[in-house]
Chain A
């Protein structure tokens, strides 16, 4: 079946602009996660959604970052007033529930110039 998809695959933006990144999880997966991977580093947790529960936002690095999820489908990660340090690959993952392994999308490579 279809895996996790993310769009765009690449995004170049100017410092100070807002960007929106999209994630389409695997159908039926109730949990959805966002991570950030800076060059040469491990993944850094940002936020996750589980069903109708309040999202865990504990990993968001600043109030410039926010995310929404519509029901159990699409999620968007928004970064306002982008900074150069926001440059990274943003990865989305989904799972049937929080106990299970997470399935990752291909990522969006964000470059802030």
Chain B
């Protein structure tokens, strides 16, 4: 069965510091991996995806994520956090052999303090 784990319910960082939001996954085949962000009272917004190729993918708002097949991880990173990055972040996986549905993690609340 497919699954996604986001081991941290909340991540707190100071503005200007690097941030990491962790994600590990389990699929039977090769994965497509995604990060989405949800701001308060707003819908989910796509940040970035890994489909194939370079393990380091860059996305919107300066975010990037590294696909690590051996560790089945896809951690989200940003070199310098902004207060405006504070939001709920979701990791999602799609098994290439299981159609289009996404399996989401439980979400990680990122709080960036000035």
Contact = CB atoms under 8 A, between A and B. Distances in A.
Contacts of B101: 33, 45, 48, 56, 58-59
Q: Give the bracket for the number of chain A residues in contact with chain B.
A: 20 to 34
Contacts of A98: 94, 99-100
Contact of A33 (B36, B45, B90, B100): B100
B102 interface: yes
Q: Give the bracket for the number of chain B residues in contact with chain A.
A: 20 to 34
Contacts of B105: 42
Interface string A33-75: 1010000011111001010000010110000000000000000
A25 interface: no
A50 B46 contact: no
Nearest to B49: A101
Contacts of A50: 99-100
Interface of B: 4, 32, 34, 36, 42-46, 49, 51, 90, 92, 94, 99-107
Given A43-B104, A50-B100, A99-B51, 6 more contacts: A43-B102, A45-B103, A95-B100, A98-B99, A99-B32, A104-B44
Closest 10 CB pairs of A and B: A98-B100, A42-B104, A104-B44, A43-B104, A42-B106, A45-B101, A101-B46, A106-B43, A104-B43, A56-B99
Interface of A: 31, 33, 35, 41-45, 48, 50, 56, 58-59, 91, 93, 95, 97-99, 101-107
